[in-house]
Amino acid sequence: MGIPRLSLNDPGSYSNPDEIIVSHMDIHLDVDFVHKIFSGYVILTAYVKSKTAQQLVLDSRSLHIKRITLNQNETDELLFTVDEPVHTFGSKLTIQLPKLTSEKLLLKIEYQTDVSSTALQWLVPEQTAGGKYPYVFSQCQPDHCRSIIPCQDTPGVKGTYNATITVPEDFTVLMSAVSSREPKVEKQGKKSFHFNQSVPIPAYLVAIAVGNLESRKIGPRSKVWSEPEIITKAEYEFAETDLFLKTAEDICGPYVWKIYDMLVLPPSFPFGGMENPCLTFITPTLLAGDRSLVSVVAHEIAHSWTGNLVSIKNFEHFWLNEGFTTFIERKINGRVKGEAYRHFSAIGGLKDLQQSVETLGKDNPLTKLVVDLTGVDPDDAFSTAPYEKGHTFLFYLEQLLGGAEKFEQFLRSYFNKFKNQSVDTDDFKTHLQSYFVGEEKIKEIDWNAWLHTPGMPHIIPKYDTSLQEPCKLLANRWIDWKESETHTFGSEDLKSFMPEQVEEFVALLLQKTPIPVSKLLLMENLYQMNSYKNNEIRFRWLRICIQSHWREPVESALKFATEQGRMKYVRPIFRDLFSWKETREEAIEKFNANKSKMMHVLVHNLNNDIKNTAEKST
Ligand SMILES: CC/C=C\C/C=C\C[C@@H](O)/C=C/C=C/C=C\[C@@H](O)CCCC(=O)O
Ligand SMILES: [Zn+2]
């Protein structure tokens, strides 16, 4: 008997929005750095959709629920149960309701979080840039908001929120919302911060960060926030943000979120960026010093339309978030840096997709665009497939249906039709077919091949390779060079390359490992590969060395994989080391020694990788 789909629309949520739907959360929490918990209450505004509804079902995870009352009636506590999880990603909070006399309900839930909350990472001062203050930040996507707030933790439900957060007075609180009034000094050395998010969002976009933070203005509606020690670097790196924002509006239509701030987090943040509305969370691994990695900012800005304004019904349609966002990210970069750059990025993305398909397996159902997540933890389903296969599908559609101008008009109609709603792939398909009605070419689309077939796309668009050519030529010269012959390589070989082309050069070599260590030694001597600060280059170079069984760089690879916690970098480095018999034990020891400093999602995935690579390394 398979694990049941937990609720009608979302295999990952117990909630019952088809009966009673939550439209607003009024959050009141106190942040306790000593016990590493949040405590307080939330008042949920909910509307009864079914007259026979007798229970409100919410998602919860490791929350300690103390008391639940209805419609400000503080005396009558409601009965509730918290069921043992059917699966490992959360519990079912069932609230018994009295006979309902009105369709609008106000439920006050008093509770506190647990130190094991999977959404929160609590840092001691040593894990921060300043080393003086503790820090806490959240990562709710896909289904961890339930470990901060009892809620309908499904993207199929969108609601507004306001929040009052109290902290020790030396700290600053930021949330995925706009500040609704000046912070207020409270009693006992506390300070309260007040927020409002008036655009309805799914629970996974609730976000909070508390630390020793300051900001710099980088545009008319943008500030960058970070610890004081890195604010000047952050201000320089992200100075072009408003250009990306204006370009995105030109493509997608009005930006509805009022402000676009960014928070550069401590190194343990597990993702390149997270599109929390009003406040994109960013990894410090983007601080290359030459703005060469800011395409992630274009990606997170694009989410302001794809994922945040038009959301998904559940994570089986994650590609509608990420494929669309990657497609628009590259359109933004195409407008700013030229169409050839857009195509060059797409070519690089295809290699990432090939890596994912090789790692997951070409028949793995998780490499389909639309996936079945019944009984599957979404954190186990994450890969570049929804990003790059989704992007490739949309690029194919744009070329098939009349080109960029026409397709961008379609995109704006899609955003306008579905704004503030949650959609699935059928909604997208139906809208595309009705928008392009009469267009003969639409009949050529093999929907089953694109949406429901695993592996690489059956069609790859013809991309402009002009920016990739020099990278490919040099990589092939290294691969084809017979070491018995005199080489013609020189320290000038990479001088004309922009950082993204050096990244492409090492990405091409990575597809050809193992490479003789003698060649890598010469490459290091000529190009000083180990001196690159750009983490996309450094990450691929270290993988080339490990996969070629060059022992000397292993120590710097382990340092790279533990001084920051970005899953995109850390997992492949550790997976390569777990798979190399000679380094497996050392890598497992290093992981175990550092996992207390890693975010839940990273530890969860690395534990899986240790199990899954066991066979390969023996
Ligand atoms: C088919 C997949 C279904 C569900 C997966 C959904 C979420 C997975 C969870 O692990 C959260 C992912 C959050 C990603 C956030 C930002 C990424 O776009 C960053 C990509 C990698 C990087 O640049 O670090
Ligand atoms: Zn994204």
pLDDT 10s digits, 496-506? 999 999 999 99
Is residue 197 a contact partner of residue 277, using CB atoms and an 8 Å limit?
yes
- Bridge partners (DSSP) of residue 96 are 55
Q: pLDDT value at position 513? A: 97
Q: pLDDT value at position 87? A: 62
pLDDT tops 50 at residue 2: no
Burial class of residue 586 in the structure, from the number of CB atoms within 10 Å of its CB (0-12 exposed, 13-18 middle, 19+ buried): middle
Residue 61, classed as helix, strand or coil, is: coil
Q: What's the rounded Cα separation, in Å, for the pair 157 and 154?
A: 6
For residue 382, the CA-to-ligand 1 centroid distance in Å is 6
- In the annotation, is 47 catalytic? no
Residue 421, annotated as binding a ligand: no
Counting other chains too, the contacts that 483-486 makes at CB distance below 8 Å and 24 or more residues apart are: 483/516, 483/518, 483/519
- Residue 319 in contact with ligand 1 by CB distance below 6 A: no
Residue 275, annotated as binding a ligand: yes
- Residue 379 in contact with ligand 1 by CB distance below 6 A: yes
Q: How many CB atoms lie within 10 A of CB 496?
A: 8
Residue 430, classed as helix, strand or coil, is: helix
Cis peptide, bond prior to residue 150, ω within 30 of zero: no
Protein residue closest via CA to atom 7 of ligand 1: 142
Protein residue closest via CA to atom 4 of ligand 1: 378
Q: pLDDT value at position 291? A: 96
Residue 462, annotated as binding a ligand: no
pLDDT tops 50 at residue 1: no
Is residue 604 a contact partner of residue 379, using CB atoms and an 8 Å limit?
yes
Average pLDDT over every residue of 578-600: 96
Q: What percentage of the chain reaches a pLDDT higher than 90?
A: 94
DSSP assignment of 209-278 equals EEES-EEEEEETTEEEEE-GGGHHHHHHHTTTHHHHHHHHHHHH----SS--EEEEPPTT--SSEE--TT
- Residue 568 in contact with ligand 1 by CB distance below 6 A: yes
pLDDT tops 80 at residue 406: yes
Residue among 538, 572, 571 nearest 556 (CA): 538
Residue 329, annotated as binding a ligand: no
Is residue 299 a contact partner of residue 244, using CB atoms and an 8 Å limit?
no
Counting other chains too, the contacts that 427-430 makes at CB distance below 8 Å and 24 or more residues apart are: 428/320
Q: What's the rounded Cα separation, in Å, for the pair 400 and 461?
A: 10
Q: pLDDT value at position 7? A: 56
* Least confident segment among 47-51, 312-316, 387-391, 548-552: 47-51
pLDDT tops 70 at residue 86: no
Q: pLDDT value at position 101? A: 84
Q: What's the rounded Cα separation, in Å, for the pair 333 and 372?
A: 33
Is residue 287 a contact partner of residue 264, using CB atoms and an 8 Å limit?
yes
Q: pLDDT value at position 616? A: 62
Q: What's the rounded Cα separation, in Å, for the pair 196 and 404?
A: 37
Query: pLDDT, tens digit, for every residue of 139-187?
Result: 999 999 999 999 999 999 999 999 999 999 999 999 999 999 999 999 9
Question: Which atom of ligand 1 is closest in space to residue 385's alpha carbon?
Answer: 1
For residue 283, the CA-to-ligand 2 centroid distance in Å is 13
- Residue 564 in contact with ligand 1 by CB distance below 6 A: no
- Among candidate residues 135, 161, 204, 387, the one labeled active-site is 387
Q: What's the rounded Cα separation, in Å, for the pair 491 and 508?
A: 19
3-state percent helix, strand, coil for the chain, nearest multiple of 5: 40, 20, 35
Q: pLDDT value at position 51? A: 84
Residue to substitute in 176, 204, 264, 271 for testing ligand 1 pocket (most ligand atoms within 8 angstroms of CB): 271
- Residue 539 in contact with ligand 1 by CB distance below 6 A: no
Q: What's the rounded Cα separation, in Å, for the pair 436 and 513?
A: 45
For residue 300, the CA-to-ligand 2 centroid distance in Å is 6
In 49-189, which ranges are E strands? 55-60, 64-70, 80-83, 91-96, 104-112, 120-123, 135-138, 159-168, 172-175, 178-185
What's the chain's average pLDDT? 96
Q: What's the rounded Cα separation, in Å, for the pair 345 and 417?
A: 29
Average pLDDT over every residue of 325-342: 98
Residue 568, annotated as binding a ligand: yes
Protein residue closest via CA to atom 22 of ligand 1: 272
In 505-603, which ranges are E strands? none
Q: What's the rounded Cα separation, in Å, for the pair 122 and 210?
A: 10
581 residue type, one letter: K
- Residue 318 in contact with ligand 1 by CB distance below 6 A: yes
For residue 71, the CA-to-ligand 1 centroid distance in Å is 38
- Among candidate residues 227, 300, 388, 536, the one labeled active-site is 300
For residue 279, the CA-to-ligand 1 centroid distance in Å is 17
Query: pLDDT, tens digit, for every residue of 184-216?
Result: 999 999 999 999 999 999 999 999 999 999 999
Cross-sheet strand order for the sheet of 214-219: 214-219, 222-226, 261-264, 279-282, 273-274
- In the annotation, is 387 catalytic? yes
Residue to substitute in 121, 276, 356, 379 for testing ligand 1 pocket (most ligand atoms within 8 angstroms of CB): 379
CA distances to 220, 282, 420 from 259, rounded to whole Å, are 9, 16, 18
Q: Is the dihedral of CA 554, 560, 565, 571 positive or negative?
A: negative
Q: pLDDT value at position 8? A: 57
Protein residue closest via CA to atom 9 of ligand 1: 379
For residue 322, the CA-to-ligand 1 centroid distance in Å is 8
Q: What's the rounded Cα separation, in Å, for the pair 206 and 176?
A: 6
**Letter string b/e over residues 291-304, b meaning 16 or more CB atoms within 10 A of that residue's CB:** bbbbbbbbbbbbbb
For residue 23, the CA-to-ligand 1 centroid distance in Å is 26
Query: pLDDT, tens digit, for every residue of 287-309?
Result: 999 999 999 999 999 999 999 99
DSSP letter at 306? B
Q: What's the rounded Cα separation, in Å, for the pair 266 and 210?
A: 12
Residue 271, annotated as binding a ligand: yes
Residue 272, annotated as binding a ligand: yes
What are the backbone dihedrals phi and psi of residue 599, each rounded to the nearest 5 degrees, phi first?
A: -70, 155
Q: pLDDT value at position 597? A: 93
pLDDT tops 50 at residue 407: yes
Confidence of residue 72 (pLDDT cuts 50, 70, 90): confident
Protein residue closest via CA to atom 12 of ligand 1: 141
- Residue 382 in contact with ligand 1 by CB distance below 6 A: yes
- Residue 302 in contact with ligand 1 by CB distance below 6 A: no
* Least confident segment among 88-97, 266-275, 408-417: 88-97
Average pLDDT over every residue of 471-483: 98
In 34-131, which ranges are E strands? 37-48, 55-60, 64-70, 80-83, 91-96, 104-112, 120-123
Question: Which atom of ligand 1 is closest in space to residue 387's alpha carbon?
Answer: 18
